């Protein structure tokens, strides 16, 4: 049944809002009145077509809902009743989505086909894993694996987000302080030197020029920054392959560890879920987030289709990773080996992030010190010259 959102007033005059399932608008209004609520507004909840960015933090509910569905199914609850319980427990977007999925399943569709209607919510690997679980009658186990996988992916994203908070905050604070200095503080100080007839040191002239730039041509600087941002965005869209190759060559190999961790984790997860090698490799390539590695994996897929081995087809991958894949292929436990490799690369990624941050902090402090030293020296040198003239 469709979901209707309502707003109204209780018998004591207080406002009320919520959601209710009903066959139609009139049934929804009647259902709201049965709750002793006078309906002011009742509308069917339109969930299809909504984007991830409209969900806010609700997108983190996907692994939680997946785990709940797995628990219900493993406890012997039929799929339809499990979806009904989940839709009753959740509100808003997820309630409407789960009701729509349940309706499609009740109409004869499989769960994977129902989820396929919402590609922005359920990625391709998610749908394919559910389909594999349905075919092998291990849907509860597959859903448990999916929830674990999604939790690990979210943990990596959270680690990246936390690691970026401090440097981004430092850069923003430093930028605001510099703008304040060059716009409000320095113009008042250098006004004394501009009115003097003595020649000023070169460093002071540069400081005055920068201050005038911030004071009188801020609009030009804002325009240049906006143009650079637009150009960077356009380059990321049109020349992403070149940028992705550049990311692999960054010092420290931080992003390399992240990409290879994603590769090993996703491929091992899909193989463990029962998907064929070629399909698993195809879905893994899309989940990496780097076109250079994706191109390599697609080329490897073609060689695999011709009868080649995965370890011999992945050109440019780290020798240690290729050796692990080769060992897994020979031992028949490739999924397990890839999972261990993913753990290793994720740990390596964490260590490299911490190392980079430990180097970034003193570098930023040194840079700020140099800028402050430049400003102090540019202000003090003319003062020393003026003192010499007075003597």
Residue 232 has pLDDT above 50, yes or no: yes
Question: Mean pLDDT score of the chain, rounded to an integer?
Answer: 82
Residue 57 has pLDDT above 50, yes or no: no
Taking phi over 0 as left and psi of -120 to 50 as alpha, with beta for the rest, 359 belongs to: alpha
**Which region among 31-45, 287-301, 369-383 has the lowest average model confidence (pLDDT)?**
31-45
pLDDT value at position 391? 53
pLDDT tier at 155 (50, 70, 90 boundaries)? Answer: confident
pLDDT tier at 324 (50, 70, 90 boundaries)? Answer: very high
- Residue pLDDT, tens place only, 67-84: 999 999 999 999 999 998
Residue 337 has pLDDT above 90, yes or no: yes
pLDDT value at position 66? 92
- List the one residue out of 19, 289, 268, 36 whose CA is nearest residue 281: 268
For residues 4 and 84, the model is more confident at 84
Residue 59 has pLDDT above 70, yes or no: no
pLDDT value at position 2? 61
**Which region among 229-238, 256-265, 269-278, 322-331 has the lowest average model confidence (pLDDT)?**
229-238
> Is the pTM above the cut of 0.75?
no
Mean pLDDT, residues 105-111 taken together: 85
Percent of the chain with pLDDT over 70: 90
Residue 285 has pLDDT above 60, yes or no: yes
pLDDT value at position 51? 46
């Amino acid at each position: 049944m469709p979901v209707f959102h309502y707003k109204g007033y209780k018998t004591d005059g207080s406002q009320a809002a919520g959601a209710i399932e009903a066959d139609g608008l009139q049934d929804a209004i009647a259902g709201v009145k049965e709750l002793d609520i006078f309906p002011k507004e009742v509308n069917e909840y339109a969930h299809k077509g909504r984007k991830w960015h409209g969900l806010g933090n609700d997108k983190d509910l996907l692994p939680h809902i997946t785990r709940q569905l797995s628990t219900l199914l493993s406890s012997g609850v039929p799929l339809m009743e499990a979806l009904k319980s989940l839709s009753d427990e959740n509100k808003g977007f997820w309630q409407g989505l789960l009701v729509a999925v349940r309706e499609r399943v009740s109409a004869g569709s499989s769960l994977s086909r129902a989820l396929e209607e919402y590609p922005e919510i359920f990625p391709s690997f998610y749908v394919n894993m559910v389909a594999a679980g349905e075919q092998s009658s291990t849907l509860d186990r597959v859903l448990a694996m999916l929830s674990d996988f999604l939790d690990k992916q979210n943990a990596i994203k959270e680690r990246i987000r936390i690691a970026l908070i401090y440097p981004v905050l430092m850069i923003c604070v430093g930028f605001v302080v510099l703008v304040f200095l060059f716009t409000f503080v320095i113009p008042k100080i250098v006004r004394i030197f501009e009115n003097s007839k003595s020649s000023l040191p070169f460093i002071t002239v540069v400081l005055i020029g920068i201050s005038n730039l911030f004071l009188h041509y801020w609009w030009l600087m804002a325009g240049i920054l906006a143009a650079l941002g637009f150009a960077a965005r356009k380059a990321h869209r049109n020349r992403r392959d070149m940028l992705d190759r550049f990311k692999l060559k960054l010092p420290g190999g931080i992003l390399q560890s992240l990409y290879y961790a994603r590769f090993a984790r996703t491929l091992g997860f899909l193989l463990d879920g029962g998907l064929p090698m070629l399909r698993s490799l195809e879905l893994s390539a899309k989940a990496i987030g780097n076109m250079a590695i994706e191109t390599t994996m697609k080329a490897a897929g073609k060689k695999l289709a011709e009868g080649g081995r995965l370890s011999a087809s992945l050109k440019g991958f780290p020798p240690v990773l290729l050796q692990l894949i080769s060992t897994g292929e020979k031992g028949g436990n490739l999924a397990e080996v890839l999972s261990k490799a993913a753990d290793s690369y994720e740990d390596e990624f964490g260590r490299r992030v911490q190392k980079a941050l430990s180097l970034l902090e003193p570098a930023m402090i040194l840079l700020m010190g140099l800028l402050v030293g430049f400003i102090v020296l540019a202000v003090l040198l003319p003062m020393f010259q003026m003192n010499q003239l007075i003597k």
